Structure 1
Amino acid sequence: MSPDGQDEVLLHTEGHTGYVTLNRPKALNALSHTMVRRVDEALAAWEDDPAVETVLIRGAGERGLCAGGDIRSIYEDARAGGSASADFWRDEYRLNVRIARYRKPYVALMDGIVMGGGVGVSAHGSVRIVTERSRVAMPETGIGFVPDVGGTHLLTRAPGRLGTHLALTGNAVGAADALLCGLADHFVPAARLGALTADLARSPVTEVLVRHTTEAPPGELAERREWIDHCYAADTVEEIVDRLLASGVTAAKEAADTLAAKSPTALKVTLAALRSAEQLGTLERVLEQEYRVSCAALSAPDLAEGIRAQVIDKDRTPHWAPATLAEVTDDDVARFFAPLGERELRLAGPDSPEEVPW
């Protein structure tokens, strides 16, 4: 229950479909630990229920599916030196795997704001739908954090270096660019979502998609591939910034300015995590790495400071420590990837991870 007595996750079945509604519209449906557990339990039950053939997830209200995890709770935990956030991430990342390996069609309505943890409960699904209102992002570097919930896995699979650009800048993309980057599969006008949702109760997913999908409005990233691929192929964040500034392209200069406002440590750790994720292969192995990184971030200064500046005090002037890229050493970065011993997250993986399970 939320503080006002409302269920934070609404569950019901109609026809052959199970419906999950994230129900914290005043908080942009941000995920609490209770919500993660409730969604996971529902998916587990429906996966073995022959009466449920399809699952759909959506967000309550008009603003978006989910803006991410409850970062106010993470802020309080980081300040107190607690472990509640690590427990939350452990269950959240397991939910991400369940979604990715779900044996039935998992339809995610990625309408409106879909960020951070919202990407985790949608972009790993088998049927990912965006609209003209979609704004999809992994904005973690702006709060001194690193893309998680399998975000580094998803973004390394985008064409060229588009994923690196999105991970470092935290920029949000619309429908066409989400499709281009492999974060979504289909475009449906927002006005048709109600009809699509209703149709899923009585018709198979493939038939419903044919009725409602159409072509997305043009995006921006395709025409920027040349400078993005060149600049973000550099080996270090410093060289990426230098290439952006030297490119002579206005949008590239804007990207450099964006990076200048992010946590220097988060930028360097994010780049290292992306490059490592390219070699790790499966989502499970990447999430295990992300868990180490997230736990390390909880005890680093920039996470609490970033949340303070962006969400708590809203002064938008974080004081990063270290304050510059040059001051972030290789040892500083390596600390985020150190083994956790008995606290490691260990996830089983499928023999054929690329197979669609239905």
Structure 2
Amino acid sequence: MQMQQQKVDDLLAQFEVLVDVKGSAGVLSLSRPQALNALTHGMIQLIRHYFDVWESDPAITHIILRSLSPKAFCAGGDVRAVYEMAKAGDPTWSAFFADEYCLNSRIKHYPKPVISLIDGIVMGGGVGLSGHGSYRIGSQKTLFAMPEVGIGFFPDVGASHMLPRLRSLEVGLYSALSGARLSQADSMWAGILTHCVPSERFTDLLQALTESADIDGVLAGFAGEPAEASVLAAHEGALQACFSKGSVAEILAALDAVSGEDAEWAQKTAGMIRSRSPMSVNVSFAELHKGATMEFDDCMVMEYRILHRVLEGNDFYEGIRAVLVEKDNLPDWQPKRFEDVDMAEVDTYFSEPKDGDLVLR
């Protein structure tokens, strides 16, 4: 995806991604703090451009992704903008996702190490940037989530491949169906992070990573244990038992039946799932089970199929309205109840769009 220099210059002038070469590292710094680095189409295009340029540059041995926001690595894609485009009938929403999914695939298959320094919130599109690279270093401020079912959407940006391959498929399903937020310790336990480093050492870590191509050696000198114990680890038995069931209905029934020291956690988890879009939760359940046995690029094609079907329906628009536009937090899901989800309709989300499948490039 080579871009004309004028286009590159125009995007750089917006200062949403700062580009630098330090030592042997190409450094991309997300700089849209007022939006918690939510990805715009221009940011996606610019990041992809430099991945392409640096691949053939022998002086660049690795790429570092970081944030200039004190609160977030990246809180996701700019779904509000997509909502406005789709509501207005602007077909360019499709190009936004096509380019983002192609970037996710590019990162997954990149021949040089990709290192993400995660100091704060990482959700949605931010997981697509960081989750498929070689190293994911999280500080004590790390807050991971794939919360898409809460806005009538689904875990995308490669989540159908990544989440089933965490500590277990069940852990991935927990994340996808509940949209729960995971701490640094939970993220390390689940397999999302590869290393834990205190945020106050990130500046020194960045400097060390630009001065050496021995990434493992550098990280060995900085990494330590999580700042606190993992909550999920304490409930692993209940999590595995409940999320190993064969349907969303069975998962909810299993959570409702949990007693003893896991009961409060199970009740909270069931409540989170029941507050989400029933259709999105069931589509996500099917998506992760399919993705567990698929190659990465096939997962991206599948996600593009789901995307088109989601944007033809009700729940994405209702979720964005309720959470981001009117902010009444009272989405009118269709259907409203989990019992009323038509599984034959769920199957339609995996059909090829009328305009054809995603072509990765």
Structure 1 letter corresponding to 2:266 = A
What is the identity percentage for the equivalent residue pairs of Structure 1 and Structure 2? 37
* Number of the residue aligned with 2:208: 199
Within 2, Cα distance between the matches of 1:298 and 1:81? 11
Q: Cα deviations across residues 94-129 of structure 1 (Å, max 9, x unaligned)?
A: 111111111111110111000000000001110110
Which structure 1 residue ranges, 5 or more long, are not aligned?
349-358
**1:279 deviation in Å?**
2.1
* Number of the residue aligned with 1:166: 175
TM-score normalised by structure 1 residue count? 0.93
Q: Residue 58 in 1 paired to residue 71 in 2?
A: no
Q: Residue 263 in 1 paired to residue 272 in 2?
A: no
User: What's the secondary structure of 1:251's corresponding residue?
Assistant: helix
User: What's the secondary structure of 2:66's corresponding residue?
Assistant: strand
Q: Cα deviations across residues 219-268 of structure 1 (Å, max 9, x unaligned)?
A: 11112111111111111111111110111211001111111110000011
* Contact 1:158/1:180, CA 8 A, preserved across alignment: no
Match of 1:23 among 25, 31, 35: 31
User: What's the secondary structure of 1:58's corresponding residue?
Assistant: strand
How is 1:324-343 mapped onto 2 (pairs within 5 angstroms)? 324-340=337-353, 342-343=355-356
Within 2, Cα distance between the matches of 1:2 and 1:219? 44
Structure 1 letter corresponding to 2:264 = T
User: What's the secondary structure of 1:337's corresponding residue?
Assistant: coil
More moved, 5-14 vs 109-118 = 5-14
**1:342 deviation in Å?**
4.6
The ranges of structure 1 where at least 4 consecutive aligned residues each deviate by more than 3 angstroms after the TM superposition are none
Q: Residue 345 in 1 paired to residue 358 in 2?
A: yes
Q: Cα deviations across residues 42-89 of structure 1 (Å, max 9, x unaligned)?
A: 011011101111110011220111000001112112322433222111
* Number of the residue aligned with 1:254: 268
Within 2, Cα distance between the matches of 1:2 and 1:60? 20
Match of 1:273 among 287, 309, 328: 287
How is 1:134-283 mapped onto 2 (pairs within 5 angstroms)? 134-160=142-168, 161-204=170-213, 205-217=215-227, 218-248=229-259, 249-280=263-294, 282-283=295-296
User: What's the secondary structure of 2:38's corresponding residue?
Assistant: coil
* Number of the residue aligned with 1:302: 315
Distance 1:267 1:134, change over 3 A: same
User: What's the secondary structure of 1:279's corresponding residue?
Assistant: coil
Distance 1:310 1:342, change over 3 A: closer
* Number of the residue aligned with 2:19: 11
Match of 1:285 among 291, 294, 298: 298
**1:341 deviation in Å?**
5.2
How is 1:33-52 mapped onto 2 (pairs within 5 angstroms)? 33-52=41-60
**RMSD of Structure 2 on Structure 1 (CA):** 1.6
Within 1, Cα distance between the matches of 2:108 and 2:118? 16
* Contact 1:2/1:8, CA 8 A, preserved across alignment: no
User: What's the secondary structure of 1:253's corresponding residue?
Assistant: helix
